[in-house]
Amino acid sequence: MQLGLIGLGKMGGNMRERIRRAGHTVVGYDRNPEVSDVGSLAELVERLDGPRTVWVMVPAGAATQSVVDELAELLSPGDTVVDGGNSRWTDDEKHAAELGAKGIGFVDAGVSGGVWGLQNGYALMVGGDAEHVERLQPIFEALKPEGPYGYVHAGKVGAGHFSKMVHNGIEYAMMQAYAEGWELLEKVDSVTSVREVFRSWQEGTVIRSWLLDLAVNALDEDEHLQKLRGYAEDSGEGRWTVEAAIDHAVPLPAITASLFTRFASRQDDSPQMKMIAALRNQFGGHAVEAKQ
């Protein structure tokens, strides 16, 4: 299958490689000419046979809107656009309507896997009409992890990004719990190796998880996280999750508290935020700030 892929950063570049390894043809475009296969979006569209599929991996908001607007003028009826970035689900509904008016299909795909996706595969949460989603199955199969799990057609347009948003909200709360436990263990005199306590939890405990494994990786690199400043950004999806909870009157005390704690990290050198920053760097390659 042929695919156009726009945005070849940490996620997009690895996705291009994984899809190619599965035997598909990927024509990639990025503003960085060193990684781009073509010089423009117009050239990307010209290189694809119809009906075309173009997957967008650019930042949410204005950047995604700009690409969708340009594709709306370049593509033809019967083509399909996939937004695989972290767009807000309400934007998906708008983009589907804009493209649909020109006979172009739209699918939203929440993608999880970070910098480990090339090796392990990407979890995919997809929204859109069945006819558009089914056409993309070969690409979804190439990207997802091996085995029966890691892919879901979650529902209509917007369902993929809404599911990924909730996933990220849960991720916030899980990381916060590990960070709080780590700080408490570091505070007491009786525990002499917090790193090894975390390592001991990796097997046979009810709190074992990939995030726990990544916490151990981070502690192996910097046992007391002394090299990190206690500061962690929020991606925006945590905020959207809390906003959606308010709109639907669903109580989310743990997720909401974890979001507010990240805000607190911008005021102080928070020990908990060192662990959050370390985990975000481990699974997603997100930048960390060195302690001055």
Q: Could you list the active site residues?
A: 164, 171
Strand partners, 108: 83, 127
> CA-based angle 275:279:284, to the nearest 5?
150
- Which residues touch 38 (CB under 8 Å, ≥6 apart)? 27, 28, 29, 44, 47
Contact between 220 and 195 under an 8 Å Cβ cutoff? The reply is yes
Q: How far apart are CA 42 and CA 54, in angstroms?
A: 12
Contact between 126 and 157 under an 8 Å Cβ cutoff? The reply is no
* Residue 271 tokens, joined: 């020990």
Contact between 198 and 278 under an 8 Å Cβ cutoff? The reply is no
* Residue 84 tokens, joined: 């695989």
Helix/strand/coil percentages in the chain, nearest 5: 50, 15, 35
Q: How far apart are CA 258 and CA 255, in angstroms?
A: 5
